[in-house]
Amino acid sequence: MNSSKWNFVGGHGKVSTIVLKHGVKSGNLIIFCNSKILLIDYDVFEDKSHSFFIEEEFCQIFIEKKKKGFTYNFEVSEEVDTPLNQKRKEYYSKKLRDTIFKALLSVFLVMTLVISSIGYKKYLQVQDLKNHPLVTTVKLKILEGDWERRHNTFLYYNFKNTTYKDRMDLPTTSSGVILTESGMPLENFDEFNVIFSYKNPYNRRIEFDKPTFWQLSKYEIRIAHKLRQLMPSISPTKCECIISAVFQEKGVRGLADLYFQDASPKENKYNNSKTYQRLIQMPSLNAALNACDQF
């Protein structure tokens, strides 16, 4: 006769002993729980399973026939739909929700601290430039190379016998034209003001939104050339009038819309034919542009 024994720890730490006795020749099978007969079966010669409750736990014994005898396995099922398993699933589900919430809260707090740290550092840099400004005019030199154009831009300039190298993530058109943060194309030896902190020269900012007088003159020449390409019959006076009106209304960003008025949004997602149409439909600018028609 085959015999197997298992100890099961139930609720409140109570230990139950399950004993199985199986007559291989007779097929008779008896299962005991704490020395009390739990169930009896007959003619057990093939694979079979038996289910029963110990307290509120749904238990199963699996009998499997092998080439050389039988194997016996005892399992407590947490998948069968019982009142205890329903409570267990609700508990696990709540625990999982709590764990996810705590994890998300931790991530949120860490991200908040990181962002706050970066923001505070940026704030200190801005305040440093505001309180200790040193403004100078520089001519920028772009480091040529396909890799730099695709991924970032290196700008060189000299100040007080020192060469500075700034790595900037500047926007580009689909054809690889590098743009300033204000939208106009950036070319070698373009001229801009740079604000340094005289306490920390590594804290500096290129003022793309505020071109120098000479840089603005360069922009006017480039835009006038572009307008003559688009409208060959336009007069120089009208070109100057349009450029002046746009600059007075929208600054350098408006000039970028004017320059890229024939570009599709796919070519230039920042300044293109759609942004140009929005620009000229502004009531105040529209009136100024109509006044330019007299030239």
Q: What is the rounded CA–CA span in Å between residue 179 and residue 222?
A: 14
DSSP class of residue 179 equals B
Residue 144: per-residue pLDDT: 59
Query: Looking at the domain that runs over 2-77, which CATH code has it been given?
Result: 2.40.128.180
Q: If pLDDT is split at 50, 70 and 90, which confidence band does 152 have?
A: low
The number of residues making up the chain comes to 295
- Summarize pLDDT for 187-199 with one digit per residue, the tens: 888 988 888 777 7
Query: What pLDDT, on the 0 to 100 scale, is given for residue 259?
Result: 96
- Kindly tell me if the per-residue pLDDT of 147 is higher than 60: no
pLDDT per position as a tens digit, 58-100: 999 999 999 889 999 999 888 888 888 888 888 888 888 888 9
For the question of whether the overall pTM of this predicted structure is more than 0.85, the answer is no
Closest CA to 167 of 156, 183, 176: 156
Residue-wise pLDDT for 21-57, tens only, equals 999 899 999 999 999 999 999 999 999 999 999 888 8
Q: Is-contact 1 24, C-beta < 8 A?
A: yes
283-291 helix and 273-280 helix, angle to the nearest 10 degrees: 80
Would you list the domain boundaries of the chain? 2-77, 85-130, 135-294
How far is it, in rounded angstroms, from Cα 182 to Cα 227? 19
What's the whole-number mean pLDDT along residues 221-245? Answer: 93
Residue 221 has pLDDT above 70, yes or no: yes
Can you give the pLDDT at residue 149? 47
Q: What is the DSSP letter of 293?
A: G
The rounded distance, in Å, linking the Cα atoms of 197 and 254 is 30
Identify the band that residue 121 occupies on the pLDDT scale cut at 50, 70 and 90: confident
Write out 11-31 in H/E/C secondary structure: HHHCEEEEEEEECCCCCCEEE
Helix (H, G, I), strand (E, B) or coil at 269: coil
143 contacts: CB under 8 Å, gap ≥ 6: 153, 154, 155, 156
